Structure 1
Amino acid sequence: MSLKLHSTGVVLGYRRSQATQYPNISLVKIEGVNTRTDSRFYLGKRVCLARRVKKTPKNPQGYKIIWGKVSKSHGSSGVVQARFPRNLPPKAMGAKVRVMLFPSSI
């Protein structure tokens, strides 16, 4: 029996309007979430972006992990907005993220 601890998602970009973009809010499309009601389950869940960095004695694995939190849904197609303590780099657009299934309210 395997337990599923995360869902995969893709960073679409920053929240934006026609003239302004808001780099402190990232849009994430979660796999299997197609409606706004489906996205309500993921509100408050943790988002993890792992990226490769240069290996150092302080970081022998060579990965940097950026944690964020799903804050609200965006639109009607199941896209969610996630906030990170430091803005995601532009290189992260199109990158895969893990949306953890904790903390859970069930």
Structure 2
Amino acid sequence: MVAPTASEPRTNNNGHRLYVKGKHVAFKRGKHTLRPSTSLIKIEGVDDPQAAHFYLGKRIAYVYRGKKEIRGTKIRVIWGKVARPHGNSGVVRAHFKHNLPPKSLGGMVRVMLYPSSI
């Protein structure tokens, strides 16, 4: 089989990616206090706490672009980990190495499918 050239479109659009898309919904909070060390993430296709249990311990990446080029790229990543389910709608709590910035609210995160428990 010959690989398609840049001018030819690919015939099969089954992209193989090692992550599921998620959305940074909010920071964990109480009635008066905001806790930016814990982020609430809504994962695509997860609608109940039982489905959210599959993602416990999985790595999460928030990918963004910086202004300056560092080590040859402007793309930066903040890594985190799924800690536990949150509520009954399939949202999960995640802890990141550095707290996510407020501009990430509503933005996409990548929930990696590793480390695998199956």
Q: TM-score w.r.t. structure 2 length?
A: 0.84
Q: 1:47 aligns with which of 60, 80, 90?
A: 60
**Deviation sequence 1:63-99 (CA, Å, 0-9, x none):** 1100000000000000000001111111111110000
SS at match of 2:68: coil
AA of the residue aligned to 2:104:
A
Tell me, yes or no, if structure 1 residue 99 matches structure 2 residue 111.
Answer: yes
Counterpart of 1:80? 92
The runs of 5 or more residues in structure 1 that have no matched partner are: none
Distance 1:88 1:2, change over 3 A: closer
Q: CA deviation at 1:61?
A: 2.0
User: Shift of residue 59 of structure 1?
Assistant: 3.5
CA–CA distance in 1 between the matches of 2:46 and 2:76?
27
Answer with 1 or 2: which has the greater Rg: 2
Which residue of the other structure, out of 66, 84, 89, is the alignment partner of 2:101? 89
Stretches of 4+ moved more than 6 A in 1?
A: none
Instruction: Tell me the residue number matched to 2:24.
Output: 11
Q: Take 1:2 and 1:29, find their aligned partners in 2: how far apart are those partners? A: 22
Other-structure match for 2:45? 32
Aligned residue number for residue 8 of structure 2: none
Identity fraction in percent: 47
CA distance in 2, matches of 1:105, 1:39: 13
Q: Distance in 1 between matches of 2:89 and 2:81?
A: 19
CA root-mean-square deviation: 1.3
Q: 2:41 is aligned with what amino acid?
A: V
Q: 1:2 Cα shift?
A: 5.7
Q: Once structures 1 and 2 are overlaid, which stretch shifts more, 32-41 or 58-67?
A: 58-67
Tell me the TM-score normalised to structure 1 length. Answer: 0.93
Structure with more relative contact order (C-alpha pairs < 8 Å, separation 6 or more): 1
